[in-house]
Amino acid sequence: MRAEKIYMQALIRIAKRLAICVVSLIAVGQNAFAQLPEGTLGWWYLAPGSGNYAPDPVTACQLTARNHMGTDLLEMRRHPTLVWYDCKYPHFLNVGGVNWYGSTYLECASGYVVRWPGVCTKITEPPSPLACSATQPGYVQGDPVVVATGDQVRTESDPLGVSQDSPQIARIYRSTTVRPGSLGVGWSFDFDRTLETSSGPGDDAFQVYVQGDHGSFVVFTHRSDGAYDQTINSGTLTRPNALGGEFAHRNASGRIDYFNKITGSRYRLVSSFSKEGVGQFFTYDANNHLQTITDSFGRTWQVVWNNDYVIDSIIGPDVTVQYQYDLSAISPGTLIPGTERLTSVLVKDAMGTLLTTRVYHYEDPRNRYFLTGVSDENANRYATIAYDDYAKTLSSEHAGGADRHSFSYPSDTSRTVTDPLGT
């Protein structure tokens, strides 16, 4: 987390020092665009002066292309973790060719922080693990919603076999996240758990950030005796093989995850054991893309990627789970890699017969990643969610208004929750 912040600051300094070599410069005042939510400056673009912000990344890249080279935007690509896009456009001289000349990123006012899916929030702490106690920062109500942050957190499960005792793979939607998962912005698999370290004086792992269940983060701090402390009740962190770069995280439910170093401060999940001792083992390719999942019973599932950003399918002996997406576009037919939005999940048997379907709705015009509903294979809608400008949940309910919970945020420190009984 700390390393990402430093990297982001460095990238911003580089972007702002881009040479301006254009025939004409276009400066668009922020008041030319629709009003953005309080605390949101907008998407930075290259132009004379300061305070040049567009309401969305495509507009920002288009303006940067025109201002920098006087040419049209051709392509965009999302940064793997930061709320940042690179912009590709031609040099104003034909001999200059086409390159990734510019970038855009979301900027927030002082006191706000950037979160995916491109919102500015006053909640500066990393997402906390879900909790049932009102004294915990991850306390949830309703479907569930984290009361402190307003995050909608939805867990869906996909069967990895046709029998009743087949394992399930969990998918999680969280309305604000620190980084996208392997299902695109907003969504992740439960195996998208990661670990990162930040350096301290004379110590190569002064703080450790564990991304755990439901997109949450737990911060462990290194003690002088070699142990690691954390401020909320979310398990323990040990180094069973420090020389090998290994960490072991036992979460509050007793599951143990083992992480091995990829490079620098980044670690990936290599095995996980439930409190009953049932294991899962993960293999990766040279690009750090998950390739296989194998369990303690010798069952193996192949993981197929759509591109560098998202998983296309998980294939087992008798079931294939397919994940379908739509993408943002610069213009018709020119899609933006990394903007994938999960639209449906199809489960098929070995003969290709469709077993189940889930369809996901995104009907909020303010942000294409706000999940507003879920329907099944019979087009029966069984969930509806509404948000404010900051991706905080205002209401969530099931079909027919069942189990409806409403949420309001009168101040930075107070919350009001109304349950189905109106209390």
**Residue 383 pLDDT > 80, yes or no?**
yes
Q: What value does the mean pLDDT take over residues 287-306?
A: 96
Under the banding of pLDDT at 50, 70 and 90, the label for residue 218 is confident
pLDDT (tens digit, 9 = 90+) per residue, 78-122?
998 899 999 999 998 877 789 999 999 999 999 999 999 999 999
Under the banding of pLDDT at 50, 70 and 90, the label for residue 17 is very low
**Residue 401 pLDDT > 70, yes or no?**
yes
Instruction: Decide: 106 and 43 in contact? Cβ < 8 Å.
Output: yes
Under the banding of pLDDT at 50, 70 and 90, the label for residue 53 is very high
What value does the mean pLDDT of the chain take?
A: 88
For the beta carbon of residue 258, count every other beta carbon within 10 angstroms. Answer: 20
Note the pLDDT of residue 89. 96
Note the pLDDT of residue 130. 84
Instruction: Decide: 206 and 199 in contact? Cβ < 8 Å.
Output: yes
Note the pLDDT of residue 1. 52
Report the distance separating Cα 28 and Cα 389, nearest Å: 23
For the chain, the first-to-last Cα distance in angstroms comes to: 39
Instruction: Decide: 67 and 45 in contact? Cβ < 8 Å.
Output: yes
* Residue 396: half-sphere exposure toward Cβ, Cα within 13 Å: 23
Under the banding of pLDDT at 50, 70 and 90, the label for residue 199 is confident
Note the pLDDT of residue 33. 56
For residue 248, the cross-strand partners are 238, 258
Note the pLDDT of residue 164. 83
> Over pLDDT 90: what percentage of the chain?
67
Higher pLDDT, 32 or 180: 180
Under the banding of pLDDT at 50, 70 and 90, the label for residue 181 is very high
**Residue 45 pLDDT > 70, yes or no?**
yes
Report the distance separating Cα 295 and Cα 392, nearest Å: 37
**Residue 25 pLDDT > 80, yes or no?**
no
pLDDT (tens digit, 9 = 90+) per residue, 147-157?
999 999 999 99
Q: Supply the DSSP symbol for 314.
A: E
Higher pLDDT, 416 or 216: 416
